[in-house]
Chains A and B, each alone.
Chain A
């Protein structure tokens, strides 16, 4: 990545980022803009396939991922922020690599190439390649020792299918620490948030979420920072513990450090208001 010009990247928002987690999407676009990264939304993207499609119909799941891949212009990496979307897009590409016949028939069906060498990466990976030193140069606001628990959830880098891929566990800590935050270990950073059970069986999810939140409270964190929009939602809506701490999207904290001023619009969408904590550290007005 060269230092001066803006870099074009295809961007796959996914259903959560486009709707329930719009604050994550807006702050991500803001961060990218402040870093000189040009995130170009994949034109007319569809759902990545999601767990439900994976459960009920493998061909449909592959087809949905493949259609997205067919929309990505060649020569620029495809970036996702949602770990599940990332998983299904990569998984789809892997399946097509192993199955040239399906690959060819899908290409013919849509009349578009489906590049098998398309790079598909998480936004965190983009930042790692961007470089921490350059990131620090762009920082406008120190995170002033914000004590955060990095919360990766389950999907980011765990599925065995993706084992040959690079593992970026630990990068959230590196990135936010370089911007003045303080990563706190010892909490349940990789515990599953409950995923869709939050919609179907909340009584299973609530104790799990409480354990995660309580573990962050126990290590005296100011907040949790999530890499996944669905985790963020589950941690906010399913917690019933007395002590509540804010759960922030990674992109919100990043945009804040990069000097974004339109944060009011994101923070009012939270069920646990992050402003008192951030005000106490003089991060927001």
Chain B
């Protein structure tokens, strides 16, 4: 019994402490300004984590993301998987007893991660979003078959979902040709934007 306890007590990785005197409070202020949400109201009740349908795929539960922000741990928070796995279903936001809009915080953090060029915690999801934007730039509308094809090339996940793709094609749920906007100039004009220029 004793030896087992000793083994369990061995930490997997050394815990990096936080120096209370060196808290970087500017990060929280920045996120609050951009998201319009007061994250200081969080008292770690965990309602957000309790309701999140994606909790098993997160590296930090939503309340921990808020704590990281309060501690000013920029690298950890902008590099985490949680902000990318979040699809913005707003379950957390609607369950928060302090009415913190966590989905808006995640939105802000994704943008900050992209703008600051940090290593993305879930790069395949960013790849997917970029493919969607390329499709929108080309056609003004999303062409799903094209998006999935290019996403597969990009991530080299060739054979995942072959069966689903074929079933969808068989039922004509994936159009071979894109539906497109006529006013190509107006769409091109919209894409003179931060995303395009930052490439």
Contacts from A to B (Cβ < 8 Å): 15, 18-22, 44-47, 50-60, 63-64, 67, 109-110, 154-155, 158-160, 191-192, 194-197, 199-202, 204, 207-208, 233, 237, 268-271
Contacts and interface: CB of A to CB of B under 8 A. Distances in A.
A237 B107 CA distance: 27
User: In terms of DSSP, what is the predominant structure of the interface of chain B?
Assistant: helix
A209 B132 CA distance: 23
A25 to B, nearest CB: 11
Contacts of B133: 52-53, 56-57, 60
Given A20-B173, A199-B151, A269-B172, A57 B179 contact: no
Nearest to A211: B53
Interface residues of B, number: 58
Contacts of A109: 189
Interface stretch (B7-15, B17-25, B66-74, B135-143): B135-143
Shortest Cβ-Cβ A-B pairs, 7 listed:
A192-B89, A154-B89, A52-B132, A57-B195, A195-B87, A52-B129, A46-B140
A13 to B, nearest CB: 9
Contact of B93 (A20, A159, A271): A159
B161 A46 contact: no
Contact of A64 (B94, B114, B136, B164): B136
A158 B51 CA distance: 14
A154 B91 contact: yes
Contacts of B98: none
Given A59-B194, A204-B85, A52 B128 contact: yes
B132 A46 contact: no
B167 interface: yes
B173 A60 contact: no
Contact of A154 (B57, B90, B129, B143): B90
A34 to B, nearest CB: 25
A207 B54 CA distance: 10
B173 to A, nearest CB: 5
B54 A57 contact: no
A35 B171 CA distance: 29
A233 B167 CA distance: 12
A139 B194 CA distance: 51
A43 to B, nearest CB: 9
Contacts of B132: 50, 52-53
Interface string B122-148: 001100111011001000111110011
Nearest to A238: B164
Contact of B90 (A22, A44, A46, A160): A160
22 contacts: A44-B183, A51-B87, A52-B128, A52-B129, A57-B133, A57-B194, A58-B111, A60-B133, A64-B190, A67-B190, A154-B89, A160-B90, A160-B94, A160-B99, A160-B103, A194-B87, A196-B129, A197-B85, A197-B125, A200-B128, A237-B168, A268-B171
Contacts of B29: none
B107 A55 contact: yes
A200 B179 contact: no
